[in-house]
Structure 1
Amino acid sequence: MHQLIFYRQLWLGWVVAALCVALATTSAIGQVRQLTGKVVDEREQPLPGATIRLSPMLLATQSDENGAFLFSALPAGAYTVQVSLVGYAPQSLSLAARTGSSHLLVRLKISAQELTNVVIEANPIALRKQEESLNLEVVGGAFLQRYRGGSLMQTLERLPGVKIIGIGSGQSKPLIRGLGFNRVVVVENGVKHEGQQWGADHGLEIDQFAAEQVEILKGAASFVYGSDAIGGAIEVKPAPVPAAHTAGGSVDLIGKSNNALYGTSANVFGRGQHWFANARATYQNYGDYRVPTDQIYVYDFAVRLHNNQLRNTAGRETGLHLHTGYVGEQLRSVLYLSYVGSRSGFFANAHGLEPRRVDTDLHDASSRDILLPRQQVSHLKLINRSQYQLPGTPHRLEAELGYQHNFRQEFSQYVNHGYMPPVYPSDLPIPQDLERAFDKHVYAGNLRAYLRWGRHALTAGVNSEVQDNRINGWSFLVPAFRQQAVGAFAYDKFQLNDHTLLHGAVRYDHAHLHITPYTDWFPSATPTSNGALTERLVRAEALTRTFNSVVWSAGINYNLGQWELKGNVGKSFRVPIAKELAANGVNYHYFSYERGDPALDPEQSYQLDVSLGWKQDKWSVQLSPFFNYFPNYIYLNPTPEHDYFYGAGNQVFQYAQSRVRRYGGEVQLRYQLLPTLRTELLAEYLRATQLSGAKRGFTLPFSPPASALLNLTWSPRLSGELSGSYFAVDYRRTAAQPNIVPPERKTLGYQLFHVQAGTRLTLGQQPLLLSLQVQNLLNTRYLNHTSFYRLIGLPEAGRNVILTLNLPFTITPATHEKN
């Protein structure tokens, strides 16, 4: 019955969205005003790829291979046409649109000013930020190449307000302003990435070499992305569609000294007039990573580290990608097929409940072997993204259909605890070394309509998703479940005047969650009034929950000359996940027993964001404070109970809810000291306090301490084979974190130095981009408060030299001729 209701609501949502588009389209077709134009250079040669923006209607397009562009269905009025293209001086033209058609011929002159990398990269980013009321960070390929870390999330950690929960060399998940796990949405190719985000030891299965641009949205983003975007969103965008009649590719090489990593990623693409294909293959191989200590303590047991290496933290990673599709004047449809797989070990002395039983001689014989305990993860995605420009109107439709299969296995030696049999049963249909397995299938569909008339730019859409997650293994923590969700939203941007843009959004969501019951495969003895009763205990009862929510958002952008002001206030929500509702088992990574609460309510969050920016020729300053209030934040609360059925007397942690207040902000300051020397300061602060519940007055887990990063970059003006060279030093100062919630431990402050250098070489006609990083230059021993391993006092990785090489190549160059 619930499934019938769900699909009926899903069908009605799609029908309503389609009717809205049809009505708006019918209304607009009666307008016959249109603006055509052509962008050329001083020699009258067409310029493809120029950006043309039409104000105040918030319309934008790009010139095609012939330099032509088109705006349709324009109401009468005065407009400003802005035309820009990298390497050319921008132009701004005034236009009065009347009945009929208008045509513009725009000539761009080559810019005589030598632009720095910052200016070239900032132009599209600045325009994107001016249209977004939330705090937004956008980084492109140059940033990702320069700061490439062990994973994509580790690369983004340099940005203020972004941290990671890391485990080992390649596994990490993001924190935005101290919120992570299922409170941050990661979107790849237009579809929400769904893996096993709830585990601190579970990384994101995303190939960092396949990312061309990343947008980080900080704040209450549920009105666009639905549940889980309560803390923000990270959108990973692929390489753009190649220009017509081109073919080429690139080869990336990477090496790291700390864990002897070597890897490569090769890409090749080609396009005719309308059809294109883009393929990429990635492989990385790494050994155990090193830390600046030779001994740690686990359960007060001293663990010696051979050659300062964390035994059994080696791994292998593979990525395969294929993008192919059709690009026409009105229709664009792209199919994305990707596979990301990894096989890596867990630090042998910090997994399970028996650190004394580790065979150190076996593990220390090789730094590249992957023994037990280990994990194996594969993630398959099949996504179609389509866009249709309605003829004769400025409106368009966009849709995504996606399928994901996330298969995660955790392998470990069988060790009996509590009432588990001392010898593994030979007739049990579960492999003896399979501790846990999670098999998730996800089906998603999104539909959006972009409707523009007058000063309004309305986006209306429907999102739907079905998750089916099954489990296996001899250990139990989270039951199997099936979750269905559908949401509809409307988001309007209104251009009040040339300087002010207003935002308003509303969204409704419906979610249905069914949890499958689970019973132990072995009997336990439970005390009763008639003596001990031996039976197989029910660990998870059958549970069905339905959730409904309405969220909203309102914002403003005010841009006047050198000043930029934006503000946003909104409500977000998050549906409780299966772990929070029905967990009932030992978490061998945290040496704790976790228990869910089936009566939890959906999280609600109210957040105020403000951003004030000021720019001059040499200066730029941005202040971004925020205030956040949760009336019912879900957290894992330690209790006085201890478990003896499944562990060695582990403390029981129970999921609970409390009121929480959070506030903080980020500061970004840039100053051009000399034409070739600039400095940058990035700082962040966060304070979280529980206002009710058993931990009233305490903070939240994984609350990052205040930190600041000071950068100095020298970009000498070299010509010839060393153009584009840079030398940079980062100094990061992180404060101590005395505000904790037990069983967390306080962490001390620390200082780190990082060095970067890079250049662009030309070998004959072949360009080559070379980047060098030295992370933790002084091999400092420190504890990162958001690290997975800091609970056992394990410091972060020591000095690491990273060398990356990018070799782009062209097979068929672009031409302006149309076949």
Structure 2
Amino acid sequence: MAGKMRTAALAGLMGGLFTAGVALTQSAAAQSAVAQTQVAAVDHGGSDIEEVVVTASPLGPRRFDVLQGTSVLSGEALDKALSANIGEALDRLPGVSQTGFGQGASRPIIRGLGGDRIRILVGGIGTIDASTTSPDHAPAVELATAKRVEVVRGPATLLYGSNATGGVVNVLDGRIPVAKPDNGASGMVRLGYGSNADERMGATSLDAAVGTSPVVLHVDGYWRKTDDMHVDGFVRSAALRASDPLADEPRGKVENSDLEQKGVTGGASVVGDWGFLGASITRDETNYGIPGGDPDEEGTRIDLGQTRVDLMGEINMDTALFETARVRFGWADYEHKEMEGEEVGTRFLNKGWEGRLEMVQKRQGDLSGAVGVQATHRDFQAIGEESFLPKSDTLQLGLFTVQRLDLGPWALEAGGRVERQTVKADAVDFDRDFTMISLSTGVSYTLPGGWLAGVSLSRTERAPNAEELLSDGPHDATRTYERGDASLGKETALGGEVTLKKTGGPVDGSVNLFYTHYDDFVFERLTGAEEDGLPVAQFTATDARFWGFELEASTALWRQGDKAVTVDAGLDYVRATDTERDQPLPRMPPLSLRGGIGYEMTQLATRVEVVRTGRQDRNAPLETETKGATVLNASIDWHPFADRDVSLMLEGRNLTDEEVRLATSFLKDEVPQPGRDIRLLLKVGF
């Protein structure tokens, strides 16, 4: 009955969305001259290796020229990826996995690294939340109104600080206008539905010029609501059911996994030939459940809110040394409450700011470069009987430079960063300073026929954060008693990456091989002891080794006019070892293989994709094995009007209802990934 009701709801929504799309399209036609021009071709979401990746360097390199692994989601690729959390949205990208804490909270993991080693940015500035404190804390970021997401795999420490030793995810939200829209106004509307958890989503944004003045206004908003997600069969894994059987095993529905999200933004910019300068203010609110735990007890819910103010500008200069100055500043007041029924268990408060200034040098012959400064402040506290962290104050200040020398087919790159971090906690009389120095260099050679080969080396340092230093208490979300170590020192990584890329011709693709050795790598190790009835997880330092690879390739099997049959494939793997104990590190993703075939024409694209995740039987002590899974996905993208920016997407995720458990998740035995999900998305641009 429930399935029939969801099917009926889906059918009704499809009709409603299509009617709304026609109405919105007619409205858009009156506002945009672009809508009167015949569309010659449609971008069906391919990731162009020639496109610029602003996150990788202030020098604006193409993906082809970046020596690290990069990925970009924009256009239809971003529409397909939209999910209730950013971890799930990025999970299909090469080298990226997720923490998998239900629909409400999942952070991305890059090459086996997560938490405080992966920086999630909004327009180049951190999210200023509590998401690095625990995997059950959702990042304060939403993709429903985003224009683009860029991912840099591997160290991005030089530009974004010591907390980016594993990589960067940068969400470009467009909330501060950078240019005047054509014909005075532009915007979009997204409406979506997902059958698995009865997900309803709506988002809209608008940029509008104020008459003939240089002022451009921006407004956007979004709303998403889901019920509990569904799976095929038992919720708990076979291993957990065998070791800890319940009289009434939950199956079919994952209790306390629902969520509701909403947010609104207002912004304005002054735009001219000299550049732009603008600001925005955003309010985001999310309420979601943490699945798992004792099914006889009321589950924990998280109610979070953030008010955020951003400033961004870019000024064109005409000096002997510099051509562009870029400034970015963000301030946020963040709070979330962990609710146990009607009672507030713990409150997490974070007031912080981050600012950066980049000065792009005027090109001198074959030399280009940039210098910059970045500062971050975090005033963080957890309040409540179950708080496992004292109030702490963290300040970071960094100076950096990147330089590039182009010598014909050869390109040489180098950069450095000096950073100072101070962590204070008056309640436990803690005050420590750390100075980090990070360096990188690389060389590439462009070969005939669209080939590029390159190698890069980096030495990065990261200071332990307040959670790793000062934690001491039960943490119900991860089902552990967490203990920090106030004596932890700097973590030093020496790594290298080899890349080979191909663009143009019958095949596009890339291969990235990486290797990193860590001195004093900090991680949570299960000790085997118990406290307060929970297993003790001790933050400890060890020497470690990470290595792995990522392969991507795509080609057109057949092409005639505007029609083509394309195939693509990807393979990624990471292997991480505690070299002091000769043991695997915990929660590492297994080998992953992706393959897809699609048919494209101007107004229609179809695609079928198979994702195979291998079994993870290389486990840390006290960690259980994770079985592999094969997931089938399919999609149809339709642009019903050749002269309108309207798209309708029908997508099926996990069509075979496969049981999927993530080796990277603390909750893998208690909560699987969603089962079959039929999704519909309407997008109208104007």
TM range (shorter): 0.7 to 0.9
| 2-structure distance, mates of 1:548, 1:303 | 55
| 1-structure distance, mates of 2:49, 2:64 | 12
| 1-structure distance, mates of 2:83, 2:47 | 24
> Per-residue deviation at 1:490?
1.4
* Counterparts of residues 54-453 of structure 1 (less than 5 Å): 117=44, 121-125=48-52, 128-196=62-130, 197-239=132-174, 241-272=179-210, 273=212, 274-294=214-234, 296=236, 297=240, 300-302=244-246, 304=248, 308-347=252-291, 350-351=292-293, 355=294, 357-358=296-297, 372-391=299-318, 395-412=323-340, 433-452=343-362, 453=364
Does residue 665 (structure 1) correspond to residue 561 (structure 2)? The answer is no
Q: Is residue 410–residue 436 contact of structure 1 (8 Å, CA) maintained in 2?
A: yes
Structure 1's unaligned 5+ residue stretches are 1-109, 360-371, 414-431, 518-540, 718-722, 810-819
| 2-structure distance, mates of 1:356, 1:342 | 23
SS at match of 1:143: helix
Q: Is residue 121–residue 140 contact of structure 1 (8 Å, CA) maintained in 2?
A: no
AA partner of residue 129 (structure 1): R
> Per-residue deviation at 1:468?
0.5
Deviation beyond 3 Å, 4+ runs, structure 1: 113-123, 239-242, 303-307, 391-394
AA partner of residue 638 (structure 1): L
TM-score by length of 1: 0.73
**Which one is further off, 143-152 or 253-262?**
143-152
Q: How many residues align?
A: 626
Does residue 687 (structure 1) correspond to residue 575 (structure 2)? The answer is yes
* Equivalence for 1:512: 422
> Per-residue deviation at 1:153?
3.0
Q: Is residue 528–residue 535 contact of structure 2 (8 Å, CA) maintained in 1?
A: yes
Deviations 1:292-335 (A, max 9, x none): 22453577142746661111211110021223101111131021
* Equivalence for 1:787: 665
* Equivalence for 1:796: 673
AA partner of residue 149 (structure 1): S
| 2-structure distance, mates of 1:742, 1:232 | 27
* Equivalence for 1:73: none
Aligned partner (choices 630, 635, 639) of residue 760 of structure 1: 639
Q: Is residue 110–residue 166 contact of structure 2 (8 Å, CA) maintained in 1?
A: yes
Aligned partner (choices 770, 777, 784) of residue 648 of structure 2: 770
Q: Is residue 677–residue 713 contact of structure 1 (8 Å, CA) maintained in 2?
A: yes
AA partner of residue 574 (structure 2): L
AA partner of residue 492 (structure 2): Q
Does residue 805 (structure 1) correspond to residue 682 (structure 2)? The answer is yes
Q: 1:658 to 1:754 in 2, by over 3 A?
A: same
| 1-structure distance, mates of 2:140, 2:192 | 19
| 2-structure distance, mates of 1:213, 1:460 | 25
Deviations 1:95-125 (A, max 9, x none): xxxxxxxxxxxxxxx99x9786578955424
Does residue 602 (structure 1) correspond to residue 490 (structure 2)? The answer is yes
* Equivalence for 2:470: 582
| 2-structure distance, mates of 1:560, 1:261 | 48
AA partner of residue 161 (structure 1): G
Structure 2's unaligned 5+ residue stretches are 1-37, 54-60
Q: Is residue 220–residue 606 contact of structure 1 (8 Å, CA) maintained in 2?
A: no
* Counterparts of residues 43-62 of structure 1 (less than 5 Å): none
| 1-structure distance, mates of 2:275, 2:539 | 48
* Counterparts of residues 563-642 of structure 1 (less than 5 Å): 563-642=451-530
Deviations 1:748-792 (A, max 9, x none): 1221111111111129x7542111111110111232212342143
| 1-structure distance, mates of 2:220, 2:552 | 35
> Per-residue deviation at 1:231?
0.4
| 1-structure distance, mates of 2:587, 2:133 | 14
| 2-structure distance, mates of 1:191, 1:616 | 34
* Equivalence for 2:18: none
* Equivalence for 1:17: none
| 2-structure distance, mates of 1:235, 1:115 | 25
AA partner of residue 138 (structure 2): G
> Per-residue deviation at 1:282?
0.3
> Per-residue deviation at 1:241?
3.4
| 2-structure distance, mates of 1:144, 1:267 | 16
Q: Is residue 154–residue 167 contact of structure 2 (8 Å, CA) maintained in 1?
A: yes
RMSD over aligned Cα, in angstroms? Answer: 2.3
Q: Is residue 762–residue 768 contact of structure 1 (8 Å, CA) maintained in 2?
A: yes
AA partner of residue 481 (structure 1): S
* Equivalence for 1:464: 375
> Per-residue deviation at 1:555?
1.1
| 2-structure distance, mates of 1:767, 1:804 | 14
> Per-residue deviation at 1:379?
2.0
Q: Is residue 235–residue 253 contact of structure 2 (8 Å, CA) maintained in 1?
A: no
| 2-structure distance, mates of 1:597, 1:807 | 52
* Equivalence for 2:7: none
AA partner of residue 548 (structure 1): T
Does residue 652 (structure 1) correspond to residue 519 (structure 2)? The answer is no
Aligned partner (choices 423, 440, 459) of residue 553 of structure 1: 440
Q: Is residue 781–residue 795 contact of structure 1 (8 Å, CA) maintained in 2?
A: yes
Q: Is residue 225–residue 259 contact of structure 2 (8 Å, CA) maintained in 1?
A: yes
Q: Is residue 388–residue 475 contact of structure 2 (8 Å, CA) maintained in 1?
A: yes
| 2-structure distance, mates of 1:307, 1:269 | 46
SS at match of 2:668: helix
Q: Is residue 330–residue 391 contact of structure 1 (8 Å, CA) maintained in 2?
A: no
**Which one is further off, 113-122 or 481-490?**
113-122
* Equivalence for 2:398: 487
AA partner of residue 157 (structure 2): S
Q: 1:189 to 1:303 in 2, by over 3 A?
A: farther
Does residue 697 (structure 1) correspond to residue 585 (structure 2)? The answer is no
SS at match of 1:255: strand
| 2-structure distance, mates of 1:116, 1:435 | 48
Q: Is residue 593–residue 612 contact of structure 2 (8 Å, CA) maintained in 1?
A: yes
Structure with higher RCO (Cα < 8 A, 6+ apart)? 2
> Per-residue deviation at 1:344?
1.0
SS at match of 2:179: coil
Aligned partner (choices 396, 413, 420) of residue 503 of structure 1: 413
> Per-residue deviation at 1:358?
2.4
> Per-residue deviation at 1:702?
1.8
> Per-residue deviation at 1:134?
2.3
Give 1 or 2 for the bigger CA radius of gyration: 1
| 2-structure distance, mates of 1:119, 1:150 | 22
Q: 1:305 to 1:284 in 2, by over 3 A?
A: farther
